Amino acid sequence: MVDHSVVGRSLAPVTAHVEPGRLRFFRETLGERNPAYTDAGAAKAAGYAAIPVPPTYLFCLEMMDAEQAFEFLDVLGADLAQVLHGEQRFTYRAPVMVGDTLRFEPRIASITDKKGGAMTLAVVETRVTNQHGVHVADCSRTVVVLNKVAA
């Protein structure tokens, strides 16, 4: 079972760089061909100062540049084989573009036991700011922990 006293705990902040090469690799993997994401001129016409990132890429940036991408598992006392991704939410507040340096500040927002303790839902909320101190986004990840139920 997951220890409920970790609610409110902050995880290590992550500083991530939006690098053009890594972003291209992501786009090519997804077959992204939208000119707003591939062409600087089209991005400018859409109102961006530089190529912006696709809507789920914030999640990737945080994992790529984290010292320990699965730190939340240690805090929850779970391992990779017993967790699933339950929900994911993004709130977009300002553009995130190539060249930006972002700071991710994750914290454990809630922990709820379900199905008589067979599973636990842990919510990790992350505030994201850029190099100018602008609050650009909020991310919320719900991790499902499949508890090892004693026989």
Partner 1 sequence: MSETLNRQLAVGDRVLHKQFPPISRHKLALYCGASGDHNPIHVDLDFAKAAGYPDVFAHGMFVMACLGQALTDAVPPPRLRTFATRFVAITQLGASLTCEGHVTELVEHNGERCAKLALTTRDENGDVKLAGEAVIAI
Residue 51 CB, nearest approach to partner 1 (Å)? 11
Ordered alpha helix ranges (H), 31-96: 35-38, 40-45, 57-65, 71-76
Stretch that binds partner 1, among 5-13, 90-98, 104-112, 113-121 (CB under 8 A): 90-98
What is the helix (H) or strand (E) element at residue 29, kind and residue range? helix 20-30
Q: Of these, 6, 7, 36, 121, which contacts partner 1 (CB under 8 A)? A: 36
CB-hemisphere CA count at 13 Å for 100? 26
Choose which of 7, 19, 50, 65 interacts with partner 1 (CB under 8 A). Answer: 65
The C-alpha atoms of residue 17 and residue 5 are separated, in whole angstroms, by 33
Residue linked to tokens 């190099």: 131
Residues near 5 by beta carbon (within 8 Å), at least 6 away in sequence: none
Considering only the stretches 4-12, 78-86, 105-113, 128-136, report the one whose residues sit in contact with partner 1 under the rule CB under 8 A.
Answer: 78-86
Least distance CB 110 / partner 1 (angstroms): 16
For partner 1, the binding residue among 6, 38, 48, 129 (CB under 8 A) is 48
Least CB distance to partner 1 at residue 82 (A):
8
**For partner 1, which residue of 50, 54, 71, 109 counts as binding (CB under 8 A)?**
54
The pair of structure tokens assigned to 128 is 């994201």
